[in-house]
Amino acid sequence: MAIDQSTESQDGAPQNSGLYDTPPPELVERAERARKELEALGATVDFKAKWWGFEVHLNQAAVDAYLEIKDLLADILGEALKEPLSTLVTLAAMAQKVWVQAVSRGYGCKLVSPWVSPTMLIPIAVNPAEDPNLWWTVFGRNPDTGRFQWNEDTMFPGHASAANPAAAVFNGRLIVVHRGHGNGDQQLWWTEFDPDKGWSEDKQFPAHSSAAGPALAVYDGKLHCVHRGHGNDTQLWHTTFDGTRWSQDKLLGAHSSSVGPALAVYDGELHCVHKGANSDSQLWHTTFDGNRWSQDKRLGAHSTASNPALASYGGKLHMVHRGSGNDTSLWHTTYTAGGGWATDNRFRAHSSLEGPGLAVFDGKLFCVHRGHGSADQNLWWTTYKSGSPWTDDQPFPGHTSGAGPAVVVYRDKNGTQDQLMVIHRGYGKRAAGTDSAEVQAQIAAEEGAS
């Protein structure tokens, strides 16, 4: 079994119930025979265990003979992974044939999975393209050190976006929705992860489009998506997914926004908070009871230049958003059915050019956001517990984004533990007219003049 020694010395030896500590001799012999047969073909296959998951590396010769080396791949995986996981991973790898061959580009590729989803097996080019691809990373406990850590950033194959994506778990399926890349593609696209099938190819919505990032939430047995229109259409639109198809887009009434909204379920209703349209930087709030959306209500003195984030935590609906105009500070407020919205409170020293992402994990509220200004596109994270202040901002280890992230807690049926997953687009310039592109340009000009 090939263990990444550099990772092992840095992160601690990977420990997982699906891995052999010492594989049986017959499996070792079988794997060695497989390597010799692969060598005769000029092919190499290496399994590399990490504390957060594993990678299966294939050179281009192995990619070219992908289906023909199925049994040899199974023997190599069988030396590292116990049954039935070994067989499941082999079958999942074979299902990725089209993607593997598409991303290799003559250099081979690696199949990457976190332990939370061992059959995910995302094909990544050896020298993957940069922005505007979608990337994912997971936050989990390193069993050797007992500490939580973020894993390496991994690129989705063939999925790109000009704005922030949205993610939600619906009936065990992890679903990601995003707008297309570039000014010419404002269509909405979606992809899903099923533990038996892996990630799907990007699928275009039938007739749904947006100039900004969408919002997702599961409510009343359906997956709900709310988004602004495309081009100059700042109206908010609503569609639902029943597990098979997306419904026709419907207007929310007189609700509009120049950027993406936020969704969360609280007190038996679906809540939507959004910035106003055009020069209206005020935040607005509406709820859906399963039949109709309520009238938009303006929040008192809460304003923003980008999409907010919502999460239900500690019996309250929490919202985090960046300020309006040139105020890139992050702000935090809460809502209760009886008391309405509380006063906005500024974070101590946390700033973001874009809207953040929120999720509840390990008994805490996690906030993930990109940095401030055109020079800082790093991703940062902070946590909150009721009665305590937000923790100091901490940078991700080499993860960057030109837009806000999506944050979701996920574990599939083959996973070993819940993990926090962050999905984000890569670094780089934003498409004109998306979210805070105008503010980004203004800040860049100010930085250049200073």
Are residues 95 and 227 both part of a single domain?
no
Are residues 70 and 172 both part of a single domain?
no
Which DSSP helix (H) or strand (E) runs through 418? none
Domain boundary among 125, 158, 191: 125
Which DSSP helix (H) or strand (E) runs through 100? helix 97-104
Are residues 92 and 234 both part of a single domain?
no
Bridge partners, 35 (sequence order): none
pLDDT tens for the chain, residues 1 to 450? 444 433 343 344 445 678 999 999 999 999 999 999 999 999 999 999 999 999 999 998 999 999 999 999 999 999 999 999 999 999 999 999 999 988 886 678 999 999 999 999 999 987 644 468 888 999 987 778 888 899 888 878 778 888 999 999 999 899 999 999 866 789 999 999 877 877 788 999 998 999 999 999 999 999 999 999 999 999 999 999 999 999 999 999 889 999 999 999 999 999 999 999 999 999 999 999 999 999 999 998 899 999 999 999 999 999 999 999 999 999 999 999 999 999 999 999 899 999 999 999 999 999 999 998 667 889 999 999 999 999 999 999 888 898 999 999 999 888 888 899 999 998 765 543 444 444 444 444 544 554
- Quick one: which of 403, 356, 397 has its CA closest to 377? 403
Query: 228 φ, ψ to 5°?
Result: -80, 165
- The whole-angstrom separation of Cα 351 and Cα 224 is 29
Are residues 428 and 344 both part of a single domain?
yes
Are residues 367 and 418 both part of a single domain?
yes
- The whole-angstrom separation of Cα 13 and Cα 22 is 13
Tell me which residue range forms the domain holding 103. 5-125
Predicted structure pTM score: 0.74
Residue 143 identity: P
For the chain, how many structural domains are there in total?
2
Are residues 204 and 111 both part of a single domain?
no
Domain boundary among 125, 158, 184: 125
Residue 202 identity: D
Q: Are 211 and 256 in contact (CB under 8 A)?
A: no
Q: Judging by beta carbons within 10 Å of its beta carbon (0-12, 13-18, 19+), is residue 68 exposed, middle or buried?
A: exposed
Other CB atoms within 10 Å distance of the CB of residue 135: 27
Are residues 115 and 237 both part of a single domain?
no
Q: What's the CATH code of the domain at 354?
A: 2.120.10.10
Are residues 352 and 434 both part of a single domain?
yes
Q: Look at strands 378-384 and 394-400 and give their pairing.
A: antiparallel
Q: Are 123 and 107 in contact (CB under 8 A)?
A: no
Other CB atoms within 10 Å distance of the CB of residue 48: 21
Residue 351 identity: S
Are residues 32 and 94 both part of a single domain?
yes
Are residues 289 and 163 both part of a single domain?
yes
pLDDT of residue 429: 59
Are residues 76 and 148 both part of a single domain?
no
Domain boundary among 70, 100, 125: 125
Are residues 52 and 150 both part of a single domain?
no
